[in-house]
Structure 1
Amino acid sequence: MSGGNAIRGTRVGAGPMGEAERGETAPRRRVPFWCAQGHETQVSFASDAEVPELWDCPRCGLPAGQDQAAPPPAPRTEPYKTHLAYVRERRSDADGDALLEEALAKLRARRGA
């Protein structure tokens, strides 16, 4: 006996696994989904399960739909906004000038100028 291993070539859980041991598989149906890039994804669902309207494409991450001729459009991504951009949305230039003058007046008063 080489190596002293009597159970050679097996592992935990190995062995014939058939329907007799696992039970019968549920009836399934394959549903195709297409993304805007033209990738097709076949997803298996139980025959009585509700099929979602959209599915994420595993290749590109875009949303995929069941209509190959009209796949869902890619989501619109907003560019990153800085803090200053958000402030400018809330306040006009005149408001900004007034706030700056007020802050400078307080600073000058503290310094005694």
Structure 2
Amino acid sequence: MASGGGNAIRGSRVGAGPMGEAERGEAAARQRVVYFCSHEHESVITFAIEAQIPDSWDCPRCGLPASLDSDNPPPAPKIEPYKTHLAYVKERRSDKEAEDILDEALQTLRARRKRGEIIF
């Protein structure tokens, strides 16, 4: 019988070990850019030197839009409240149109009841 653990395969995982620049190649030249949000967070983002720097960036801390201008950060976006189905209907119909539609529906319902139709 083999002694405990004497036959174990020893080695390392794929990707384990030192990974220096010699194995990965030279690191690209970089520049640090600071973005400012309306909550006064400063976010330092690193870009390659040749990269086009965006005018705005989402703040990693709060998610608000951030810009390069520390004196005038972009305002938080206005969040529209949830609209009910009735609110959408009221946008499309005037009160007079709603009354006409209701009267028409009630006349149809009353006529069906007079005929003896089962209405739930």
What TM-score, normalized by structure 1, do the two folds share? 0.89
In structure 2, the CA distance between the partners of 1:2 and 1:56, relative to structure 1 (3 Å rule), is farther
Select which of 47, 56, 59 maps to 2:58: 56
- 5+ residue gaps, structure 1: none
Question: Which structure is larger by alpha-carbon Rg, 1 or 2?
Answer: 2
Partner SS, residue 69 of structure 1: coil
Select which of 83, 86, 89 maps to 1:87: 89
Matched residue count: 112
In structure 2, the CA distance between the partners of 1:6 and 1:112, relative to structure 1 (3 Å rule), is closer
Select which of 25, 28, 41 maps to 2:27: 25
Alpha-carbon distance in 2 for matches of 1:11, 1:2: 22
Partner SS, residue 107 of structure 2: helix
Deviation beyond 6 Å, 4+ runs, structure 1: none
1:25-80, CA deviations, whole angstroms, 9 ceiling, x for partnerless residues? 11110101111001111111110110111111111110011111111110011111
Alpha-carbon distance in 2 for matches of 1:3, 1:40: 54
What TM-score, normalized by structure 2, do the two folds share? 0.84
Alpha-carbon distance in 2 for matches of 1:2, 1:61: 55
Let me know the Cα RMSD of the aligned residues: 1.8
Counterpart in the other structure of 2:118: none
Alpha-carbon distance in 2 for matches of 1:64, 1:58: 9
Select which of 109, 113, 118 maps to 1:111: 113
Partner SS, residue 50 of structure 2: coil
Partner SS, residue 23 of structure 2: helix
